[in-house]
């Protein structure tokens, strides 16, 4: 029995939920999990439904038949096969904690992703990556060659069919052109609890301010540096006795967790862009389970 999810965004209006539910029932589908949100300020309606095709309805059939319902309510919509793993490229520089965490989660099935390539501007993690049979691309970036370097990155994206780029502490600023081309498909981890302490050395900035909480923020990348729609955040408590280097070490764990949770939400189609913000629905039951351990 195939399992799918349906995502819908449209103007808030009466009858949307009934129309979608009736459509699925008429096509022999049983809803296992549903989330919805009506934004009273923007007038937008968001919905995500997980369901099983109990009578064998195929994805192509559902897509073709749903078009009439979608047209009636002027929906932005998509059906997704929950068995398919999203193709992901991870980009990293010289801090490897997020990369290692993501490779482990992908290997045990905790994240339903296929890492189709790792791109770096350094060679530090080549052996780690190729030992897991993942292609590694070292693409050096300088002020002089940035257009050529980004063109090389985009060739890897196109050749692999990657649907998502993850910046796992990749310490290069992407061009406006690349941000626009991959809009909604690049996720970054910022080692700070945005919107505070943007830019370089945020932990040092936090230390100098004597904060009692530090954190990490995962967001979609836009042309506005560190201003993209936020997907996930978390914090760790610190005190006056801890040094700036303690902040960095404590921050690594929270960065890894926040980034993995943001990717989990994205690949399960739980994140909806809502202007400069996001709507992030709760995870469906069973979606955190792993195929294996170790």
Which of the pair, 250 or 131, is modelled with greater confidence? 131
Q: Is the pLDDT of residue 246 over 70?
A: yes
Active-site annotation holder among 124, 224, 226, 253: 226
Q: For residue 293, tell me if it sits in a domain.
A: no
- From 61, 60, 66, 90, select the one nearest 8 (Cα to Cα): 66
Q: Is the pLDDT of residue 184 over 90?
A: yes
Q: Which residues contact 161 (CB under 8 A, 6 or more apart)?
A: 87, 116
Q: For residue 289, tell me if it sits in a domain.
A: no
Supply 265's token pair.
């939400």
Q: For residue 94, tell me if it sits in a domain.
A: yes
Place of tokens 């040092």: 204
Q: For residue 292, tell me if it sits in a domain.
A: no
pLDDT over 70, % of the chain:
98
- From 80, 284, 250, 261, select the one nearest 166 (Cα to Cα): 261
Is 101 part of the annotated catalytic residue set? no
The number of distinct structural domains making up the chain is 2
Q: Is the pLDDT of residue 126 over 80?
A: yes
Indicate the SS3 state at residue 154: helix
Q: Looking at the structure, do residues 267 and 218 belong to the same domain, yes or no?
A: yes
pLDDT the model gives residue 292: 72
DSSP secondary structure of 3-40: EEEEEEEEE--TTHHHHHHHHHHHTTEEEEEEEEEEET
Q: Residue 137 phi/psi, 5° resolution?
A: -125, 120
Give the tens place of pLDDT for each residue, 191-213: 877 667 777 778 788 788 887 88
pLDDT the model gives residue 289: 83
Mean pLDDT of 221-240: 90
Show the domain range for 268.
87-280
Q: Looking at the structure, do residues 44 and 183 belong to the same domain, yes or no?
A: no
CA distances (Å), origin 199, targets 225, 227, 247, 258, 277: 8, 11, 16, 18, 20
Which of the pair, 174 or 207, is modelled with greater confidence? 174
Q: Is 172 exposed, middle or buried (0-12, 13-18, 19+ CB in 10 A)?
A: middle
pLDDT the model gives residue 294: 58
In the chain the first and final C-alpha atoms are separated, in Å, by: 29
């Amino acid at each position: 029995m195939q399992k799918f999810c349906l995502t819908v965004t449209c103007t808030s209006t009466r009858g949307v939920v009934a129309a979608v539910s009736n459509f699925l029932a008429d096509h022999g589908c049983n809803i296992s999990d549903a989330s919805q949100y009506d934004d009273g300020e923007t007038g937008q309606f968001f919905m995500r439904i997980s369901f099983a095709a109990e009578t064998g309805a195929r994805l192509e059939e559902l897509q073709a038949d749903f078009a009439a319902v979608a047209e009636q309510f002027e929906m932005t919509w998509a059906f997704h096969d929950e068995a398919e793993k999203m193709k992901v490229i991870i980009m990293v520089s010289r801090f490897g904690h997020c990369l290692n965490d993501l490779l482990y989660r992908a290997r045990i099935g905790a994240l339903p992703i296929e890492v189709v390539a790792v791109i770096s501007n350094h060679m530090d993690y080549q052996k780690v990556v190729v030992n897991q049979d993942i292609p590694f691309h070292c693409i050096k970036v300088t002020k002089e060659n940035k257009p050529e370097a980004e063109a090389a990155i985009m060739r890897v994206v196109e050749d692999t069919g990657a649907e998502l780029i993850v910046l796992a502490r990749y310490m290069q600023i992407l061009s406006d052109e690349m941000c626009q081309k991959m809009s909604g498909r690049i996720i970054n981890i910022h080692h700070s609890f945005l919107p505070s302490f943007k830019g370089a050395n945020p932990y040092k900035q936090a230390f100098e301010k004597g904060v009692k909480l530090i954190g990490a923020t995962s967001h979609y990348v836009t042309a506005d540096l560190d201003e993209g729609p936020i997907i996930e955040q978390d914090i760790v408590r610190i005190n006056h006795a801890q040094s700036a280097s303690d902040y960095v070490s404590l921050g690594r764990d929270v960065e890894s967790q926040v980034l993995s949770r943001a990717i989990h939400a994205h690949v399960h189609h739980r994140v909806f862009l809502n202007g400069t913000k996001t709507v992030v629905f709760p995870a469906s039951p069973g979606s955190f389970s792993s195929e294996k351990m170790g």
